[in-house]
Structure formats: C-alpha cells, structure tokens
C-alpha cells in the first residue's frame, strides 16, 4: 500500500501555472508568516519587478520570482527556482551563496520540516550545536524514500496564509491532487566552506523538487475563477477537518485520509459541472478521481475488490456511489487479518 504526501504551496492568484501572479500587489497571502517556506517570500519579493511582469511566463523571465519554489506546481514549462542560504551561512569571508534549482513542468519544492526537529536528531556529546545535521539529512532521505513514484499521491495545500483564514479561525486550504512522477535530487548551496560541509551535511538545501503527472493525472480547484463569486467559492473551498497531514511543509497522508479528501474533491467537481464551469473537462477529472477511489478502496476494504472491478469495466462513475452506500460501520471495523 503506497504512502502519500502533502505539499504546501505559497498562495498564487492564477493556479500555480508557472506565471507571475496577475495582480501581485493584491496577493498579501504569499508573503505571510504561514506561506511557503515560512515568510521567506515576504522578505525577498521584488514587488516592482513582479508588477512590471504581472501574468508573464516565468520560463521567459531573466529574474527568478521569490515564490519560485511553489509557482510551477501545475505549470506546463521548465522554469528555474532559487534558494538562498540562511543568513548565518552568508557571514564572513567564505560566505555561501544561493543555488538555482531546475524545475520541470508540474514541479514544486517541499521539505519535511517536522523530521528536522525531533529528539532523535539532537546532537550529543561535547558540542555547541543543538542538532546533528548529518542525522537530519538521513531523516530527510528516509522521509522521501518512503514515497513511490507512479503510485503515491501528492495532496497540495496552502498554509494559514491564504484568503480563507480569518482572525478568529486560521484554516488550511486544499488546492488539488496528482500522482507522484519523480522525486528530484538533493541540492547544495554554492561556495560552502569546509566547516559548513563538515557540520551541516555539506550545506544541503532544505528543498526537494517533487514532480507530478499533472495534467494527465490530477485535479486542481480553480479558486482564481471565483474569488469574486462568494456563493460558488463557498461551495468549492475545502478546509480539511483533519489538519494533521497538512503541517510542517510536507507530511505523510494515509489511505483513509486520502479517501476522505478525494470524496470532497468529487463534491467540488459536481459543483463545477453544475455551474457549467469551462476551465477544463471536469467529467474527465471526475473519472480520474473515481478511479483513485477504486484504487484506494481496494487497499482498505470492505469487499475491496468491487470498486476495482467497476473501474476495470469502465464504470468509474459508479465507484463513489458504491462507496457512499457501503456500510460505514463495517468500513471502520475492517482490519487486515
């Protein structure tokens, strides 16, 4: 049974399509504290440049936007992302410098931040460092190695810095899903000193490129089309009830959580079909989401084979209806022998 991943994106006003936002000055969410990665965009964004190139294709621009780690999640072209080293790496004579990261279509960067701060990576012995960075690197390698290319799903979401968070209630927001195509390489900062190489895992960059099969496999909620239509927007926005998988950049997503999320995506597709949305072929997306349900359901039952049979017979539209009518109590009591 494949393990799935969540992947946080900085907010974008045009579908993370590899282009600069249409109205960069109005996107106050990507620069927030809970954007990705953290508030880095707020500290490094060149708003004047983005305003001069609003809506333009990043693959044709000379300068790299501050949101480059997220902007191409659903893009169709190759772009370049950039990551600067932390401030403490840039002090002194042998200051490290940033690194460019090539991003294929449908690629965004992420990191397993939670694994970097556990008790099991704390430094021991006589040292002034709190964490053992070699152990941190090993934890990162272990985290990303558990996902299977061609099998695992990627669930994209926005942190609290999004248009649907309020002063009283901060919300994560689901953006879309696709299947994992490739986990990219680890990258390292340039001009790293020997001391940093020794003590900080060769100066590894805490960003990992993740490529999906989108658009052939995938679904994305077209928030950008309905930001001024509150009635429809309220029907398509998804604030996950179980927030646990959507923290710390990237976390594992279980099959059960995946099933729950896919159900909600299907509800959104039905709304888009009902209102006659022409952004793309939503019936095709619904077919794909139903095929995912069959796949996920087969992994956890009860009677797990029936949805797969329906899918093989080309009856994907019946999969979600079958699952909805399956006895939920039986499902919750189901265990592997």
**DSSP string over 139-202:** HHHHHHHTS-TTT-EEEEEE-S-STT--SS----EEEEEEEEEEE----B-BT--HHHHHHTGG
Do residue 224 and residue 263 come from a single domain? no
Range of the domain at 219: 4-246
- Domain boundary residue, one of 246, 278, 299: 246
Do residue 114 and residue 260 come from a single domain? no
Do residue 228 and residue 271 come from a single domain? no
CA–CA gap between residue 143 and residue 58 (Å, rounded): 30
Do residue 280 and residue 175 come from a single domain? no
Do residue 260 and residue 195 come from a single domain? no
For residue 215, say if its preceding peptide bond is cis, omega within 30 degrees of 0. yes
Do residue 272 and residue 190 come from a single domain? no
Do residue 317 and residue 230 come from a single domain? no
Across the chain, which has 337 residues, the per-10-residue mean pLDDT values are: 94 98 98 96 97 98 97 98 93 86 99 96 83 97 98 98 89 98 98 92 98 98 98 98 95 96 97 97 97 88 53 56 53 41
Write the DSSP symbol of residue 87: G
Do residue 112 and residue 239 come from a single domain? yes
pLDDT at 129: 85
Do residue 327 and residue 280 come from a single domain? yes
Whose tokens are 């695992």? That residue is 152
Domain count, the chain: 2
- Domain boundary residue, one of 215, 230, 246: 246
Do residue 219 and residue 300 come from a single domain? no
**Token couple for 172:** 């994560």
pLDDT at 302: 55
Do residue 259 and residue 320 come from a single domain? yes
Do residue 79 and residue 155 come from a single domain? yes
- Domain boundary residue, one of 246, 279, 310: 246
């Amino acid at each position: 049974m494949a393990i799935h991943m969540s992947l946080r994106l900085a907010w974008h006003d045009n579908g993370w399509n590899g282009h600069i936002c249409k109205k960069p000055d109005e996107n106050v969410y990507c620069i927030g504290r809970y954007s990705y990665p953290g508030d880095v965009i707020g500290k490094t964004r060149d708003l004047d440049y983005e305003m001069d190139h609003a809506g333009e294709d990043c693959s044709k621009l000379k300068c790299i936007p501050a949101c480059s780690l997220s902007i191409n999640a659903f893009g169709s072209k190759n772009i370049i992302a950039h990551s600067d080293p932390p401030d403490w790496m840039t002090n002194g004579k042998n200051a490290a410098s940033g690194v460019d990261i090539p991003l294929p279509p449908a690629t965004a960067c992420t990191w397993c931040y939670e694994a970097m701060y556990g008790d099991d990576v704390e430094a021991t012995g006589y040292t002034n460092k709190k964490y053992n960075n070699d152990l941190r690197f090993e934890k990162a390698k272990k985290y990303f190695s558990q996902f299977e290319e061609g099998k695992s799903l990627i669930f994209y979401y926005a942190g609290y810095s999004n248009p649907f968070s309020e002063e009283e209630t901060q919300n994560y927001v689901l953006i879309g899903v696709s299947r994992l195509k490739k986990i990219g390489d680890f990258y390292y900062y340039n001009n790293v000193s020997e001391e940093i190489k020794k003590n900080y895992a060769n100066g590894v960059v805490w960003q990992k490129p993740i490529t999906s099969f989108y658009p052939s496999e995938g679904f994305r909620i077209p928030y950008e089309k309905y930001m001024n239509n509150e009635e429809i927007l309220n029907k398509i926005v998804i604030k996950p009830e179980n927030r646990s998988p959507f923290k710390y950049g990237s976390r594992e997503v279980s099959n059960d959580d995946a099933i729950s999320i896919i159900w909600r995506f299907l509800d959104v597709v039905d709304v888009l079909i009902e209102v006659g949305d022409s952004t793309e072929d939503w019936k095709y997306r619904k077919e794909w989401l139903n095929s995912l349900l069959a796949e996920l359901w087969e992994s956890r039952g009860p009677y797990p084979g029936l949805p797969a049979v329906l899918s093989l017979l080309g009856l994907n539209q019946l999969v979600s209806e079958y699952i909805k009518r399956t006895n939920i109590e039986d499902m919750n009591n189901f265990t592997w022998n």
